[in-house]
Amino acid sequence: MANNIRDIAKLAGVSVTTVSKVINNLPNVSPSTRARVQQVIQDQQFIPSHTARGLVKGKSKTIGMFLTTSLAHPFFSKVVVGLESALKKTGYDLLYLTLDWNPEYSLVRHCLSRNVEGVLIFGFQENDLNFEEIIQSEIPTVFIDLDMMGRRAGYVTSENVESIKNAVYYLHELKHRKIAFVNGHLDSYVGKQRFEGYRRGIQELGLPYFAEYISIGDFTKESGYAAMKGFMQLEEPPTAVVCSSDMIAIGVIEAAGEAGLSIPQDLSVIGFDDIELAKHTIPALTTVHQDFDTIGNQSILLLNDLINTPHSPPPALIIPTKFVIRKSCAECTR
């Protein structure tokens, strides 16, 4: 395996200068030579450390973003608005980087080939890709809703545990004792955190833990709809449901309505996110408000610090949430 660019130059049959031009995406290299050098780099799984740290000798003023979910999803689109406002302040452009899921794919090589100065990683689960590769490369990186850290990598997320725990406490104050929870992926960071919040709330309040009151799916309306259908088949259905997203909550409300249940008289429902649609559901949804603008804004500003201040400490920012009481919860009467 090649250890330096001299090895790459020898294997590709070119000069060290040519290899450097290819690595830094500079002109005056023929397409065939560039392709040959890139193939050798890929075959040798070679990542030049000086390039991984600096990416390019000049400043591209470009940040790359890897995103797994469509921007049409209300949570992601709201965060992107926050990203854009901070991009204007810092003078960076945002480049959406398309993933290739084949086993040979390298996040680091992709970043190098696009000359980005730093990268945002958004909407992933911990085991989706080899994130350790990009952390070890020391490319400035900020993860959103994924608690991964390195010397030049950190994360931004919302307060998930306390937010869900507080939702459970609120329902308990309304005399609910049969409180169900519909979660997203348990292998996602926020899924784990929000489940932990539910578990702590139930435990601290001395409520019984019923496995049948927990549904694990994804963060979609369909997941909430299916979960509520299941709850209604139980001998003792829940009187309240805490949801890991507003879209889940909307699905729960829809399934309950089809079964003739009235919200909140027969069932109380709490969401998470406070997307625009939450205030327009019937009844309006009580939910946990995430500060989308701050998530996006701080992600860019912290990444800017990592790029321009090499010795700045890696961020681990947890952004407070707000509990928004609307019309989807009521005192339990049964």
Residue 47 has pLDDT above 80, yes or no: no
Return the CATH fold of 161-290: Rossmann fold (3.40.50)
Q: What's the token pair of residue 315? A: 């961020």
- Do residues 154 and 118 lie in contact, with contact meaning Cβ atoms separated by under 8 Å? no
Residue 54 has pLDDT above 50, yes or no: no
Measure Cα distances from 38 to 9, 29, 126, 178 in Å.
11, 12, 28, 60
The number of C-alpha atoms within 13 Å of 289 and in the hemisphere containing its C-beta is 10
3-state secondary structure labels for all residues of the chain: CCCCHHHHHHHHCCCHHHHHHHHCCCCCCCHHHHHHHHHHHHHCCCCCHHHHHHCCCCCCCEEEEEECCCCCCHHHHHHHHHHHHHHHHHCCEEEEECCCCCCCCCHHHHHHHHCCCEEEEECCCCCCCCHHHHHHHCCCEEEECCCCCECCEEEEEECCHHHHHHHHHHHHHCCCCCEEEEECCCCCHHHHHHHHHHHHHHHHCCCCCCHHHEEECCCCHHHHHHHHHHHCCCCCCCCEEEECCHHHHHHHHHHHHHCCCCCCCCCEEEEEECCHHHHHCCCCCEEEECCHHHHHHHHHHHHHHHHHCCCCCCCEEEECCEEECCCCCCCCCC
pLDDT per position as a tens digit, 255-276: 999 999 999 999 999 999 999 9
Bigger pLDDT: 80 vs 213 = 213
Measured CA to CA, the distance from residue 313 to residue 23 in angstroms comes to 28
pLDDT per position as a tens digit, 300-312: 999 999 999 878 8
Residue 291 has pLDDT above 70, yes or no: yes
- At residue 71, the pLDDT reads 65
Residue 70 has pLDDT above 70, yes or no: no
pLDDT per position as a tens digit, 199-212: 999 999 999 899 99
The full set of domain ranges for the chain reads 1-46, 161-290
Residue 222 has pLDDT above 60, yes or no: yes
Confidence of residue 6 (pLDDT cuts 50, 70, 90): confident
- Does CATH place domain 1-46 in 3.40.50.300? no
Residue 76 has pLDDT above 60, yes or no: yes
Share of the chain above pLDDT 90, in %: 61
Measured CA angle at 148 (ends 147, 151), to 5 deg = 135
Mean pLDDT score of the chain: 89
pLDDT per position as a tens digit, 121-171: 988 877 777 788 888 888 899 999 999 999 999 999 999 999 999 999 999
* Mean pLDDT (whole number) for 53-63: 63
Residue 17 has pLDDT above 70, yes or no: yes
- Do residues 95 and 65 lie in contact, with contact meaning Cβ atoms separated by under 8 Å? yes
pTM of the model: 0.81
- At residue 230, the pLDDT reads 97
Which of 237, 220, 236, 231 has the alpha carbon at shortest distance from 255?
Answer: 231
